[in-house]
Amino acid sequence: MKTFIPKKEQIERKWYLVDATDKVLGRLASRISLILQSKHKPSYSPHLDMADFVVVINAEKIKVTGKKVANKKYISHSLYPGGFKVKSLEELLKTKPEDVIIKAVKTMLPFNKLRSRRIKKLKVYRGSEHPHKAEKLEPINLVK
């Protein structure tokens, strides 16, 4: 028996639509990361980028369990003196709720060379409007 490894021209990419309304952030992010890794496909290969596109709408309506809204901090540093910045989850949900989902999914993807390619296939929007209406979006319910 031979192992099947798909060629570039044999890879089919689908577009999935995810509504984040009242979904828990961590569970949503872990399910999205599985789709971006293409682990839901029978022809999964860890060394190939076979990821489907995921469009997430209503990012501002996600839920967070426990006291994470007040206690969770996002830290960044520009590598310049005085460039250390700390933002709470509450601040980010008010200003950029899209970044909260992107950062959660990005940390759940494996740290390898395909990570940047896979995260580019994730499109997150604050409201229900998005510019991908021309694509054949397949609605999917990720939380079971």
The DSSP secondary structure of 27-72, one letter per residue, reads: HHHHHHHHHHTTTTSTT--TTS--PPEEEEE-GGG-B--TTHHHH-
Task: Kindly report, residue by residue over 84-134, the tens digit of the pLDDT.
Answer: 999 999 999 999 999 999 999 999 999 999 999 999 999 999 999 999 999
**Residue 10 pLDDT exceeds 90:** no
Q: How, if at all, do strands 15-19 and 84-88 pair?
A: unpaired
38 in the Ramachandran plot: left (φ > 0), alpha (ψ -120 to 50) or beta? left
Structural domains of the chain ordered from first start = 12-64+96-139 (3.90.1180.10)
